Amino acid sequence: MSTAVPEVDVTRALALLAGSDARLLDVREDDEWAAGHASIARHMRLGDLDPRQFTESGTVVVTCRSGNRSRTAAAALVDAGVDAVNLDGGMLAWARAGQPLVRDDGMPGTVA
């Protein structure tokens, strides 16, 4: 893929996600998700991503652990006509910015 994908930092991602037409997509593996994720995120492993599933309008902010896998996912989404951006630095940057992470049981999470 040679698609240039827009990169957003955590501050810009939060501004986008505060809008009603943006969503956070976490493409990490199941064990990474289980260790901790943003409570507002939707989980779909990169290997399971089908860009055709995204038929709604709005921006998809894509994240992974560090921003590399999510860049690949965001490029696939952009190629499919989806308004997608990559969260620069991924969940590591999210956590460094003081944003909360939760596990599925509601307890505080970590970035695995």
CB neighbours of residue 98 within 10 Å: 7
CB under 8 Å to 36, separation ≥6 — which residues? 91, 95, 101, 102, 103, 108, 109, 110, 111, 112
How far, in whole angstroms, is CA 107 from its chain's centroid?
Answer: 20
What is the amino acid identity at position 74?
A
Residues carrying an active site annotation: 64
CB neighbours of residue 7 within 10 Å: 16
Beta bridge partners of 108: 102
